[in-house]
Amino acid sequence: MQKKFVKNLALILFLNFLVKPFWILGVDRQVQNVVGPEEYGFYTAILSFSFLFFIFLDLGITNFNNRNIAQNTQLLRKHFAGIGSLKLLLGIVYAIVIFGIGLLWGYRGRELYLLAWVGFNQFLLSFILYLRSNISGLLLFKTDSFLSILDRLLMIIIVGTLIWTGLLSINFTIETFVYSQTVAYSITALIALIAVLKKTGRLSLNWNPAFFMVIIKKSLPYALLVLLMSFYNRIDPVLIRKLLPLETGDYQAGVYAQAFRLLDAGQNFAFLFAVLLLPLFSKMIKDGKSVTELVKLAFSILVTGALIIAISTGFYSTEIMSLMYGHFGTETSAEFALRISQSSIILTILMFSFVAISSNYIFGTLLTANKSLKALNIVAFIGLIANIAVNLILIPKLMAVGSAWASLFAQGGTAILQVILAKNIFKMKTDYSLITRFALLIILMITSGFILKQWTFVNWYWSISILLFGGLILAFALKLLNLKELLRILKEDG
């Protein structure tokens, strides 16, 4: 299983490194530069609002299905028609929920119009994730790797053409951006459906209420977990916009989005670990095999990378934000400097949240595979309460920066609790050697960062490159990334 994990991780990371950084740092960033921080903040708040209720599109079915198909591949043909039909029904439920709660929240006019399109895109995304859960459940990771980048690749082509070539001579708005996403998701969903149909052999709907109830009952513990996690992961821009005056709220949500874009990029890559690990953990647990070595391997790779990126980004956050975003419209130099300063602070905080999120993707996935959902739901509920409480206290005082602190507090707390849970459930021994090596990496990188910041004669591009590559070398030297071990795994049979 370690060999399968490493080989397919290499493939999926390679494909995603080719596409997603260009999408997030190139195209998506340029969209915000074109439409401005207020318009993009308005879109971010609506998007985050739609994410809060994403669970009504899924009810935990995707996670349940991934685990179930990995352990019982023969059920794919039997379950596909029924679950596919259920997904369509849930799409209607989701639409009713987001519009009903949106009206109660105070959304009107353009807000509801954008919410309708964003909500439809969420339905398409949910359907894609369900289709991919069947493919990864069958351990067809090459196909899943291709599908993991297809929607972004299509959006690069569509949005890039619109904002850089001017071929269609249209006024690019945030609505144009959302329409482009609809086209890309639709094509991806169609291709993913064809890939699944090659395994099931037919396309049919099966309206079986009794079957629906069985699946929903089995999935509900997953559903509650996803609902709670969605709230404490996505509620920040919604609260920023609600707790601050309207124009200030849109602007601050846009400032938050500038920094969150890089966290989102990191989360996309960390999520790939969960996609690979869930079926592998599920199968190993069913077969009675120890998961300890795979957990250590995945944790070392992902958290080491997250730490190197977080520390490097923290030292050069202002330079990074200044590089990514320019003046907008009639913005003065002082206003631009303030926006960049806020985003830089937020970026530093959020990238350390990324370290905690990376740990959560490892241990949360392990606990999900083990069906330790009651404990996970309690942890997620604690994270939600912590996030909302800190947001309510800090947003009025620190605006978007306060929301970043709330994210770090919630993510860090849940990470610690998940590690403790996994350690107790799986009887894992504390690896003091691993902890010591992580501590040395942090100390040496922070020391190096302070030294490099004093080298004013060196361009910051070179300084951050030295820090990043130096961190990578340290990781190999400390055997947090063990090349010999990776090669040994790859040479193993099976």
Helix 333-369 to helix 400-425 angle (10° resolution) is 20
Domain, as residue range, for 406: 2-429
| pLDDT tens readout for residues 158-205 | 998 888 876 666 788 999 999 999 999 999 999 988 888 887 766 666
pLDDT for residue 485 = 63
Write out the two tokens for 5: 């994990």
CB 263 within 8 A of CB 350: yes
Q: Stretch 49-70: mean pLDDT, rounded?
A: 75
**Residue with the larger pLDDT of the pair 354 and 282:** 354
Alpha-helical segments (H) within 106-140: 110-137
Measured between alpha carbons, how far is 251 from 288 in angstroms, rounded to an integer?
52
pLDDT for residue 56 = 83
Task: Please give the share of the chain, as a percent, with pLDDT higher than 70.
Answer: 87
Q: Is residue 485 part of a domain?
A: no
Element (H, E) at 37: helix 37-52
| Contacting residues for 206 by C-beta, under 8 A, at least 6 apart | 81, 82, 84, 85
CB 303 within 8 A of CB 358: yes
pLDDT for residue 269 = 78
Measured between alpha carbons, how far is 369 from 283 in angstroms, rounded to an integer?
9
- How many CB atoms lie under 10 A from the CB of residue 476? 12
Most confident of 17-31, 166-180, 384-398, 475-489: 384-398
Write out the two tokens for 375: 């404990």
What are the backbone dihedrals phi and psi of residue 138, each rounded to the nearest 5 degrees, phi first?
A: -85, 5
Place of tokens 């179930």: 68
Q: Stretch 418-425: mean pLDDT, rounded?
A: 93
Q: Is residue 462 part of a domain?
A: no
**Residue with the larger pLDDT of the pair 77 and 407:** 407
Q: Is residue 464 part of a domain?
A: no
Measured between alpha carbons, how far is 138 from 144 in angstroms, rounded to an integer?
10
Handedness of CA 423, 426, 427, 431 (dihedral sign): negative
pLDDT for residue 490 = 47
Position 404 confidence tier, pLDDT thresholds 50, 70, 90: very high
Position 8 confidence tier, pLDDT thresholds 50, 70, 90: low
Position 494 confidence tier, pLDDT thresholds 50, 70, 90: very low
Give me the number of domains the chain comprises.
1
Handedness of CA 141, 143, 145, 147 (dihedral sign): negative
Lowest mean pLDDT among 159-163, 204-208, 214-218, 458-462: 204-208
CB 390 within 8 A of CB 409: yes
Residue among 55, 35, 170 nearest 114 (CA): 35
Write out the two tokens for 80: 């596909």
pLDDT at 296 over 80: yes
pLDDT at 290 over 60: yes
Position 130 confidence tier, pLDDT thresholds 50, 70, 90: confident
Q: Which residues of 182-215 are buried (b: 16+ CB within 10 A; e: fewer)?
A: eebbbebbebbeebbeeebeeeeeeeeeebbeeb
**Residue with the larger pLDDT of the pair 331 and 65:** 331
pLDDT for residue 84 = 74
Q: Is residue 373 part of a domain?
A: yes
Position 443 confidence tier, pLDDT thresholds 50, 70, 90: very high
**Residue with the larger pLDDT of the pair 318 and 141:** 318
pLDDT at 493 over 60: no
CB 373 within 8 A of CB 425: no
Global model pTM greater than 0.85:
no
| Contacting residues for 7 by C-beta, under 8 A, at least 6 apart | 490
Measured between alpha carbons, how far is 375 from 225 in angstroms, rounded to an integer?
10
Measured between alpha carbons, how far is 69 from 135 in angstroms, rounded to an integer?
9
SS3 60: coil
Q: Is residue 472 part of a domain?
A: no
pLDDT for residue 420 = 94
Place of tokens 């009713």: 96
**Residue with the larger pLDDT of the pair 248 and 178:** 178
| Contacting residues for 35 by C-beta, under 8 A, at least 6 apart | 43, 172, 173, 174, 177
Q: 292: burial class by Cβ within 10 Å (0-12, 13-18, 19+)?
A: middle
SS3 291: coil
Position 65 confidence tier, pLDDT thresholds 50, 70, 90: low
Position 68 confidence tier, pLDDT thresholds 50, 70, 90: low
- How many CB atoms lie under 10 A from the CB of residue 247? 10
Q: Stretch 17-35: mean pLDDT, rounded?
A: 83
pLDDT for residue 110 = 92
| pLDDT tens readout for residues 218-236 | 777 767 777 777 777 778 8
Measured between alpha carbons, how far is 204 from 216 in angstroms, rounded to an integer?
20
Q: Stretch 481-494: mean pLDDT, rounded?
A: 58
Position 373 confidence tier, pLDDT thresholds 50, 70, 90: confident
Q: Stretch 71-75: mean pLDDT, rounded?
A: 63
Task: Please give the share of the chain, as a percent, with pLDDT higher than 90.
Answer: 41
Position 83 confidence tier, pLDDT thresholds 50, 70, 90: confident
pLDDT at 392 over 80: yes
Q: Stretch 283-306: mean pLDDT, rounded?
A: 87
In Å, the largest CA–CA distance within the chain is: 71
The DSSP secondary-structure symbol of 428 reads P
Lowest mean pLDDT among 78-82, 98-102, 213-217, 447-451: 78-82
Q: Is residue 254 part of a domain?
A: yes
CA 452 to the chain's CA centroid: 31
Place of tokens 């030297």: 477
